[in-house]
Structure 1
């Protein structure tokens, strides 16, 4: 094998290696985007939704106890519910919040603190407390809607990354076929000597 043929072989192999490496790096970046989107959907959206639902249950427990004038519902039970709500609030803070979500959450936190202050004042009418709980439930619903919207956004990111991966995969196949044809031409092409050399 001539030295020039060896160089052609080495160049061809290096070219294929670089192509495979570059497409692998692109695929890896897209897989990381998909993984990040799925993780965000679970950790920051599904967990947050579960926390919000738990908080709605606690607020509804307060409303039921207040409406039924439940004498069994003691101050101790109310403190336990308030503690559970505070724990939920802390857990929710640890999720990744968007700017809009942070504003609604801060507002919710203020409303919950106002509710706790109202509950401590035994002379406050039930209607005032019920109005406050209704506002809190509205804020929880607003946060829940944000969870759905952000979850859809993350799914869109994931789907777009999958489309890019599929596009690159098809492109890789076409490109590798073209490279294989080009390599065949480079390796097996024998230049025709000039007309003068043959005379």
Structure 2
């Protein structure tokens, strides 16, 4: 094998290697984006939505007790409910929040503190003045509703990012196949081609 033929072989193999390496790095990046998106959908959206549901359930328990004027609830069970809500707030704080979500969550925490003050005032009044408590419960529920809707829209956004990454992977896979076929033909032409020798 002549030196010229060796160079042709090395260049052909090097071209294939560089192409495979480049597409592999691009595919790896896209796979990481899909993986991150799936993890985010689960950890920061589905789990967060479950936490919101649990907080809503506990707030509704307070609302029912207020409607029934259940003094036993406000003396005994309400402390447990407040501790459960606080534990859920701590869990929700550990999820990745968007800027808008952070604002609503802070408003929710402020409204919850005001709700607890209204509950204390209600207990002292002998469950006779429920208007302030009703207003605070509505405000807390409105914030929980907004947080729930954010989970849905962010989940949709993450799903869209995953679809784009998967489409990109498919496109690069097709391009890789076409380029590999082209390079295989090119390498064959380079190897088989023999220039005319001068007489």
TM-score normalised by L of structure 2: 0.94
Aligned to 1:12: 12
Shift of 1:3: 2.0
5 Å matches for 1:95-134? 95-121=95-121, 122-123=124-125, 125-134=129-138
Map of 1:33 onto structure 2: 33
- Alpha carbons 2:56, 2:141 under 8 Å: kept: yes
Give the whole-Å Cα distance in 2 for the aligned partners of 1:71 and 1:141: 28
> Which residue, out of 182, 186, 190, partners 1:186?
190
Distance 1:7 1:52 in 2: 65
Please identify runs of 4+ aligned residues in structure 1 that moved more than 4 A: none
Does the residue aligned with 1:73 lie in a helix, a strand or coil? helix
When normalised by structure 1's length, the TM-score is: 0.94
Counterpart CA distance in 2 for 1:63 and 1:29 is: 49
Q: Distance in 2 between matches of 1:118 and 1:89?
A: 19
Q: Distance between the aligned counterparts of 1:75 and 1:178, measured in 2?
A: 79
Unaligned runs of 5+ residues in structure 1 are: none
Question: In structure 2, how many angstroms separate the alpha carbons of the residues matched to 1:57 and 1:159?
Answer: 34
- Root-mean-square deviation over aligned CA pairs: 1.2
SS in 1 for 2:69: coil
Relative distance call for 1:71 and 1:113 in structure 2 (3 A) is closer
Cα deviation for residue 12 of structure 1 reads 1.3
Name the stretch that deviates more: 69-78 or 149-158. Answer: 69-78
Is the Cα–Cα contact under 8 Å of residues 74 and 119 in structure 2 kept in the other structure? no
